[in-house]
Amino acid sequence: MWLTNSSVGRKVVMSITGLFLVLFLTFHVLMNAVALISLEAYDAVCEFLGANWYALAGTAILAAGFVIHIIYAFWLTLQNRKARGNDRYAVSARPAGVEWASQNMLVLGIIVCCFLVLHLVQFWAKMQLPEIMGEHVADGSYYLRAAFGQWWTLPIYLIGFIALWFHISHGFWSALQTLGANNDKWLNRWQCTAKWWATIVCGLFAIEACYLAWYFDAFKF
Protein backbone atom coordinates (compact mmCIF):
# COMPACT_ATOMS: atom_id res chain seq x y z
CA MET A 1 0.00 0.00 0.00
CA TRP A 2 1.31 3.46 -0.97
CA LEU A 3 0.82 4.93 2.54
CA THR A 4 3.10 2.30 4.06
CA ASN A 5 5.40 1.17 1.24
CA SER A 6 6.77 4.55 0.17
CA SER A 7 8.64 7.27 2.03
CA VAL A 8 6.25 9.92 0.73
CA GLY A 9 3.24 7.87 1.86
CA ARG A 10 4.64 7.48 5.35
CA LYS A 11 5.28 11.22 5.54
CA VAL A 12 1.67 11.85 4.52
CA VAL A 13 0.46 9.62 7.37
CA MET A 14 2.76 11.46 9.77
CA SER A 15 1.43 14.79 8.55
CA ILE A 16 -2.26 13.87 8.80
CA THR A 17 -1.95 12.37 12.28
CA GLY A 18 0.19 15.33 13.36
CA LEU A 19 -2.40 17.87 12.22
CA PHE A 20 -5.08 15.85 13.97
CA LEU A 21 -3.10 16.16 17.21
CA VAL A 22 -2.75 19.90 16.55
CA LEU A 23 -6.55 20.18 16.61
CA PHE A 24 -6.70 18.20 19.85
CA LEU A 25 -4.12 20.43 21.54
CA THR A 26 -6.16 23.47 20.58
CA PHE A 27 -9.28 21.95 22.11
CA HIS A 28 -7.42 20.77 25.21
CA VAL A 29 -5.84 24.12 26.03
CA LEU A 30 -9.21 25.87 25.64
CA MET A 31 -10.88 23.28 27.86
CA ASN A 32 -8.22 23.78 30.53
CA ALA A 33 -8.68 27.55 30.31
CA VAL A 34 -12.12 27.07 31.85
CA ALA A 35 -10.34 26.26 35.13
CA LEU A 36 -8.87 29.78 35.15
CA ILE A 37 -12.38 31.21 35.20
CA SER A 38 -14.20 28.75 37.44
CA LEU A 39 -13.30 25.37 38.92
CA GLU A 40 -17.02 24.57 39.09
CA ALA A 41 -17.29 25.15 35.35
CA TYR A 42 -14.22 22.93 34.82
CA ASP A 43 -15.91 20.21 36.88
CA ALA A 44 -18.98 20.53 34.64
CA VAL A 45 -16.85 20.12 31.52
CA CYS A 46 -15.16 17.03 32.96
CA GLU A 47 -18.55 15.56 33.89
CA PHE A 48 -19.88 16.26 30.39
CA LEU A 49 -16.97 14.36 28.86
CA GLY A 50 -16.47 11.61 31.44
CA ALA A 51 -17.03 8.09 30.09
CA ASN A 52 -19.84 8.97 27.71
CA TRP A 53 -19.82 7.23 24.33
CA TYR A 54 -18.71 10.35 22.43
CA ALA A 55 -15.85 10.96 24.85
CA LEU A 56 -14.77 7.32 24.64
CA ALA A 57 -14.96 7.40 20.83
CA GLY A 58 -12.88 10.57 20.78
CA THR A 59 -10.34 9.06 23.19
CA ALA A 60 -10.01 5.92 21.06
CA ILE A 61 -9.51 7.93 17.86
CA LEU A 62 -7.01 10.22 19.59
CA ALA A 63 -5.06 7.28 21.00
CA ALA A 64 -4.98 5.57 17.59
CA GLY A 65 -3.75 8.75 15.91
CA PHE A 66 -1.07 9.26 18.54
CA VAL A 67 0.18 5.65 18.36
CA ILE A 68 0.31 5.77 14.55
CA HIS A 69 2.17 9.10 14.71
CA ILE A 70 4.80 7.62 17.07
CA ILE A 71 5.24 4.42 15.05
CA TYR A 72 5.69 6.32 11.80
CA ALA A 73 8.08 8.78 13.46
CA PHE A 74 10.43 5.97 14.48
CA TRP A 75 9.93 4.25 11.12
CA LEU A 76 10.89 7.34 9.13
CA THR A 77 13.83 8.10 11.43
CA LEU A 78 15.27 4.61 11.00
CA GLN A 79 14.67 4.80 7.26
CA ASN A 80 16.50 8.13 7.00
CA ARG A 81 19.41 6.88 9.09
CA LYS A 82 19.70 3.77 6.94
CA ALA A 83 19.60 5.85 3.75
CA ARG A 84 22.34 8.21 4.93
CA GLY A 85 24.56 5.45 6.27
CA ASN A 86 27.95 6.72 7.42
CA ASP A 87 27.32 10.10 5.78
CA ARG A 88 25.38 11.24 8.82
CA TYR A 89 28.65 11.36 10.77
CA ALA A 90 30.49 13.38 8.13
CA VAL A 91 29.03 16.79 9.00
CA SER A 92 28.34 17.93 12.55
CA ALA A 93 27.31 21.53 11.83
CA ARG A 94 23.68 22.36 11.17
CA PRO A 95 23.10 23.31 7.51
CA ALA A 96 22.05 26.90 6.83
CA GLY A 97 18.28 27.32 6.73
CA VAL A 98 17.60 24.12 8.63
CA GLU A 99 15.81 24.60 11.94
CA TRP A 100 17.24 23.09 15.11
CA ALA A 101 13.87 21.46 15.79
CA SER A 102 13.95 19.80 12.37
CA GLN A 103 17.10 17.88 13.32
CA ASN A 104 15.82 16.96 16.77
CA MET A 105 12.17 16.09 16.18
CA LEU A 106 12.57 12.53 17.47
CA VAL A 107 14.27 13.63 20.70
CA LEU A 108 11.67 16.34 21.22
CA GLY A 109 8.94 13.80 20.53
CA ILE A 110 10.37 11.42 23.13
CA ILE A 111 10.41 14.20 25.74
CA VAL A 112 6.80 15.06 24.88
CA CYS A 113 5.84 11.37 25.16
CA CYS A 114 7.42 11.11 28.63
CA PHE A 115 5.53 14.24 29.65
CA LEU A 116 2.33 12.76 28.21
CA VAL A 117 2.75 9.57 30.26
CA LEU A 118 2.93 11.65 33.45
CA HIS A 119 -0.11 13.66 32.37
CA LEU A 120 -2.12 10.51 31.65
CA VAL A 121 -1.17 9.00 35.01
CA GLN A 122 -2.21 12.15 36.84
CA PHE A 123 -5.51 12.64 35.05
CA TRP A 124 -6.84 10.09 32.55
CA ALA A 125 -5.85 7.07 34.66
CA LYS A 126 -7.62 8.58 37.68
CA MET A 127 -10.64 10.10 35.95
CA GLN A 128 -11.95 8.49 32.78
CA LEU A 129 -10.39 5.03 33.24
CA PRO A 130 -11.95 4.33 36.68
CA GLU A 131 -15.29 5.64 35.38
CA ILE A 132 -15.10 3.20 32.48
CA MET A 133 -14.61 0.43 35.05
CA GLY A 134 -17.70 1.58 36.93
CA GLU A 135 -15.90 3.19 39.84
CA HIS A 136 -16.82 6.52 41.43
CA VAL A 137 -14.48 9.42 40.65
CA ALA A 138 -14.15 12.82 42.26
CA ASP A 139 -14.68 16.14 40.51
CA GLY A 140 -12.05 17.23 37.99
CA SER A 141 -10.80 20.03 40.25
CA TYR A 142 -9.85 17.42 42.87
CA TYR A 143 -7.28 15.95 40.47
CA LEU A 144 -6.04 19.40 39.50
CA ARG A 145 -5.28 20.01 43.17
CA ALA A 146 -3.66 16.59 43.55
CA ALA A 147 -1.36 17.24 40.58
CA PHE A 148 -0.56 20.94 40.79
CA GLY A 149 -0.52 21.03 44.56
CA GLN A 150 2.86 19.25 44.37
CA TRP A 151 5.92 21.45 43.85
CA TRP A 152 7.60 19.19 41.26
CA THR A 153 4.65 19.12 38.85
CA LEU A 154 5.06 22.67 37.54
CA PRO A 155 8.78 22.42 36.55
CA ILE A 156 8.17 19.14 34.71
CA TYR A 157 5.15 20.56 32.90
CA LEU A 158 7.07 23.68 31.85
CA ILE A 159 9.86 21.53 30.42
CA GLY A 160 7.23 19.51 28.59
CA PHE A 161 5.64 22.67 27.17
CA ILE A 162 9.01 23.94 25.90
CA ALA A 163 9.67 20.64 24.12
CA LEU A 164 6.12 20.70 22.78
CA TRP A 165 6.64 24.22 21.40
CA PHE A 166 9.70 23.21 19.41
CA HIS A 167 8.03 20.01 18.21
CA ILE A 168 4.76 21.51 16.99
CA SER A 169 6.13 24.85 15.75
CA HIS A 170 8.15 22.87 13.22
CA GLY A 171 5.81 19.91 12.79
CA PHE A 172 2.78 22.09 11.97
CA TRP A 173 4.19 23.79 8.88
CA SER A 174 6.25 20.75 7.89
CA ALA A 175 3.04 18.69 7.74
CA LEU A 176 1.39 21.28 5.52
CA GLN A 177 4.46 21.33 3.30
CA THR A 178 4.23 17.55 2.89
CA LEU A 179 0.56 17.86 1.96
CA GLY A 180 1.25 20.38 -0.79
CA ALA A 181 1.62 23.86 0.74
CA ASN A 182 5.24 24.06 -0.36
CA ASN A 183 5.57 27.13 -2.55
CA ASP A 184 7.75 29.93 -1.15
CA LYS A 185 4.87 32.34 -0.62
CA TRP A 186 2.61 30.05 1.36
CA LEU A 187 5.39 28.13 3.11
CA ASN A 188 6.66 31.34 4.73
CA ARG A 189 3.12 32.17 5.84
CA TRP A 190 2.59 28.72 7.35
CA GLN A 191 5.94 28.89 9.15
CA CYS A 192 4.93 32.20 10.72
CA THR A 193 1.46 30.88 11.57
CA ALA A 194 2.92 27.72 13.12
CA LYS A 195 5.22 29.69 15.43
CA TRP A 196 2.43 32.05 16.50
CA TRP A 197 0.00 29.18 17.07
CA ALA A 198 2.57 27.11 19.01
CA THR A 199 3.45 30.16 21.14
CA ILE A 200 -0.19 30.90 21.96
CA VAL A 201 -1.06 27.28 22.76
CA CYS A 202 2.06 26.45 24.78
CA GLY A 203 2.02 29.88 26.43
CA LEU A 204 -1.58 29.37 27.52
CA PHE A 205 -0.73 25.88 28.79
CA ALA A 206 2.12 27.39 30.82
CA ILE A 207 -0.09 30.16 32.21
CA GLU A 208 -2.69 27.60 33.25
CA ALA A 209 -0.06 25.44 34.97
CA CYS A 210 1.50 28.41 36.79
CA TYR A 211 -1.90 29.68 37.92
CA LEU A 212 -2.96 26.27 39.24
CA ALA A 213 0.36 25.79 41.07
CA TRP A 214 -0.11 29.22 42.67
CA TYR A 215 -3.80 28.63 43.42
CA PHE A 216 -3.15 25.30 45.13
CA ASP A 217 -0.07 26.59 47.03
CA ALA A 218 2.32 24.12 45.42
CA PHE A 219 5.40 25.94 46.75
CA LYS A 220 4.13 26.49 50.27
CA PHE A 221 6.32 24.27 52.44
Q: Give the long-range contacts of residues 177-182, CB within 8 A, separation 24 or more.
A: 178/11, 178/12, 178/14, 178/15, 179/12, 179/15, 179/16
**Which residues are CB-neighbours of 87 under 8 A, at least 6 positions away?**
none
pLDDT in tens, 148-196: 999 999 999 999 999 999 999 988 888 888 887 777 778 888 889 999 9
Q: pLDDT band for position 3 (50/70/90)?
A: low
Average pLDDT, the chain: 86
**SS3 letters across 147-162:** HHCCCCHHHHHHHHHH
pLDDT in tens, 82-129: 766 655 444 444 544 457 777 788 888 889 999 999 999 999 999 999
Furthest CA-CA distance within the chain: 58
Q: What is residue 32's predicted lDDT score, i.e. its pLDDT?
A: 95
Instruction: Say whether 15 sits in a helix, a strand or coil.
Output: helix
CA distance 209 to 29: 11
Decide which of 3.40.50.300, 3.60.15.10, 1.20.1300.10, 1.10.10.10 is the CATH code for 2-87+96-215: 1.20.1300.10
CA distance 26 to 18: 13
Instruction: Give the DSSP letter of residue 93.
Output: S
